[in-house]
């Protein structure tokens, strides 16, 4: 018999909110976690992303907050959810608002990269539920703008990711500042030694819930592998995304992972040069830039997103059909988190890995730790020609490039249409001095002198103010 949400003991307002969201049947982790959380027990959940963890802790916590009916504490909160990334924090806060739509609870979120003063004002009167990144939370605590004195429920989501990002000391400080009689809900996709030590300090006799074996990729994800040289990866990526080399699955949204921020920006730039629009998301991007990139990805306006591991668990967007590991992660657990961006909400997904000679050790570690089963795919027949610059994607048609390339400022109609400027740069054309027809303006108007007999003239004498337009050659 299939378990329904109505079998788990949730209140009527929460059930109505679930009906509004179209949810009927709980996921395995929700079915196991919700009753224990409703009883007030501490919880340790081992589950990959995409298994429904947010609802597993948020739904029963909303009910517990309603039943307690305590006042909102001044400069504090009743429930605190810690998340590793800005994107994940925003998604959890939105879920809290959706699930608690009829519960009358006040929800806020604070993350780095936004105005500290606005956060101070936002939290001055306190709130019921606060979703935060650890760094910004401690900033406000250190400024005496916030405290944890009113905390009833503490949630750590994606705890292993927070450790990977260097938040271990911040998490220990928050643990020491929180009231001892709180309820703690602890979630992690993996259970390394540091996480076990952290759990012992946070939780008291927790109920343990595990819905998938540790570090095992989702069964609905098909995994494929290309063996390719490091300097040939870009050409292969362009062939795949331009659909000139077929790969399994139909493209809907494609998420590409690199190891570095510079690498992500470089991939986006190179794709743009061959007419394939993409956005990048990484730690050097401002919060508005990151949010704009996610919004465009979610709406499929720009269905290709290049990310570093900082976004690996912050992207919870249905419809990611493919994850491409442009560079293999040097930490095998990160592979699980990356490919977990696809095959969400019951859908199937495709994961493609590019492996160069110097990444074979990473591939071996991934195979050993995750039992990943890769099907090796052959390189396209015309791949060598493409790499050497004579294939069909080198270069792309001019009109295709122009769709993503901004128009040069001050260029004539000839330049904007994609034609090369006529005549020498800054030189004349058939007796015309200064800049030639279609040539871009130079700072002083005259540009470089044209050839003899072409009327370019000397820049200082003829073209400095008027671009040499009246030169007779």
> End of a domain among 158, 191, 210?
210
CA dist 404 and 275 (Å) reads: 6
Q: Is 22 among the domain residues? A: yes
For the ranges 52-66, 236-250, 283-297, 380-394, the maximum mean pLDDT occurs at 52-66
> End of a domain among 156, 178, 210?
210
Q: Is 96 among the domain residues? A: yes
CA dist 267 and 235 (Å) reads: 11
Query: Across all residues in the chain, what is the average pLDDT?
Result: 81
What DSSP letter does each residue of 1-25 carry, written as one string? ----GGGTT--HHHHHHHHHHT--S
For 298, the token pair is 């979610």
CATH number of the domain at 226, please: 3.40.50.300
**Which ranges constitute the DSSP H helices of 299-351?**
332-339
Give the residue-averaged pLDDT of 108-120.
92
Residues 450 and 396 in one domain: no
pTM of the model: 0.64
pLDDT at 68 over 60: yes
Q: What separation in angstroms does the CA of 238 have from each of 234, 235, 246, 272, 380?
A: 6, 5, 12, 10, 12
Give the residue-averaged pLDDT of 320-346.
87
Q: Is 419 among the domain residues? A: no
Per the structure, the complete domain to which residue 364 belongs is given by: 221-402
Question: What torsion do the CA atoms of 457, 462, 467, 472 make, to the nearest 10 degrees?
Answer: -60
CA dist 250 and 229 (Å) reads: 26
Residues 304 and 359 in one domain: yes
Q: Is 325 among the domain residues? A: yes
pLDDT at 146 over 70: yes
Tens digit of pLDDT for each residue in 7-23? 999 999 999 999 988 88
Lowest mean pLDDT among 57-71, 221-235, 275-289: 275-289
Looking at the chain, the number of H-run helices and the number of E-run strands are 17, 14
For 228, the token pair is 């390719």
Q: Decide: helix, strand or coil at residue 110.
A: strand
pLDDT at 400 over 50: no
Residues 28 and 127 in one domain: yes
The closest alpha carbon to 135, from 152, 118, 149, 114, belongs to 114
Q: Is 216 among the domain residues? A: no
Residues 81 and 191 in one domain: yes
Strand ranges across the sheet with 183-188: 107-110, 127-132, 77-82, 153-156, 183-188, 43-46, 207-210
Residues 447 and 386 in one domain: no
CA dist 152 and 77 (Å) reads: 8
Residues 239 and 140 in one domain: no
Report the pLDDT value the prediction gives residue 1, as an integer from 0 to 100.
63
Residues 227 and 201 in one domain: no
Residues 294 and 364 in one domain: yes
Query: Which of the four pLDDT bands, split at 50, 70 and 90, describes residue 412?
Result: very low
Query: Which of the four pLDDT bands, split at 50, 70 and 90, describes residue 345?
Result: low
pLDDT at 406 over 70: no
Residues 147 and 235 in one domain: no
Q: What is the sign of the dihedral through the CA atoms of 85, 86, 89 and 95? A: negative
Tens digit of pLDDT for each residue in 350-397? 999 999 999 999 999 999 888 788 999 999 887 888 788 755 554 444
The closest alpha carbon to 399, from 304, 303, 275, 302, belongs to 275
Report the pLDDT value the prediction gives residue 300, as an integer from 0 to 100.
92
Q: How many domains does the chain have?
A: 3
């Amino acid at each position: 018999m299939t378990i329904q949400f109505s079998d788990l003991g949730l209140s009527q307002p929460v059930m109505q909110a679930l009906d509004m969201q179209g949810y009927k049947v709980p996921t395995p982790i929700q079915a196991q976690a919700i009753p224990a959380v409703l009883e007030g027990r501490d919880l340790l959940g081992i589950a990959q992303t995409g298994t429904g963890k947010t609802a597993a802790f948020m739904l029963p916590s909303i009910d517990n907050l309603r039943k307690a009916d305590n006042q909102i504490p001044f400069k504090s909160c009743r429930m605190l959810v810690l998340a590793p990334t800005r994107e994940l924090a925003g998604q959890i806060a939105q879920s809290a608002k959706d699930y608690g739509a009829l519960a009358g609870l006040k929800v806020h979120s604070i993350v780095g990269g936004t105005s500290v003063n606005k956060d101070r004002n936002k939290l001055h009167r306190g709130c019921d539920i606060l979703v935060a990144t650890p760094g910004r939370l401690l900033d406000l605590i250190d400024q005496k703008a916030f405290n944890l004195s009113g905390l009833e429920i503490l949630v750590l989501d994606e705890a292993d990711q927070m450790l990977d990002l260097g938040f271990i000391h911040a998490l220990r400080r928050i643990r020491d500042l929180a009231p001892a009689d709180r309820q703690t809900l602890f979630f992690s996709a993996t259970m390394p030694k540091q996480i076990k030590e952290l759990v012992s300090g946070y939780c008291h006799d927790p109920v343990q819930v595990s819905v998938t074996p540790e570090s095992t990729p989702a069964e609905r994800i098909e995994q494929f592998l290309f063996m390719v040289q490091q300097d040939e990866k870009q050409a292969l990526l362009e062939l795949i995304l331009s659909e000139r080399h077929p790969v399994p699955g139909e493209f809907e949204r494609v998420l590409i992972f690199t190891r570095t921020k510079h690498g992500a920006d470089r991939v986006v730039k190179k794709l743009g040069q061959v007419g394939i629009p993409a956005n990048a998301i990484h730690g050097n991007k401002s919060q508005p830039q990151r949010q704009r990139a996610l919004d465009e990805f979610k709406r499929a306006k720009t269905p290709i997103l290049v990310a570093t591991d900082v976004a690996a668990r912050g992207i919870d967007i249905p419809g990611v059909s493919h994850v491409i590991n442009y560079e293999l992660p040097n930490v095998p657990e990160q592979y699980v988190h990356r490919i977990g961006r696809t095959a969400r909400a019951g859908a199937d997904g495709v994961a493609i890995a590019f492996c160069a000679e110097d990444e074979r050790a990473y591939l071996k570690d991934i195979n050993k730790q995750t039992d990943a089963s890769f099907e090796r795919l052959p390189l396209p027949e015309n791949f060598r020609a493409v790499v050497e610059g004579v294939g069909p994607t080198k270069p792309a048609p001019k009109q295709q490039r122009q769709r993503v390339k901004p128009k040069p400022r001050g260029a004539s109609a000839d330049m904007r249409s994609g034609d090369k400027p006529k005549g020498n740069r800054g030189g004349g054309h058939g007796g015309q001095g200064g800049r030639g027809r279609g040539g871009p303006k130079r700072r002083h108007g005259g540009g470089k002198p044209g050839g003899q007999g072409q009327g370019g003239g000397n820049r200082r004498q003829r073209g400095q103010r008027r671009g040499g337009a009246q030169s007779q050659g």
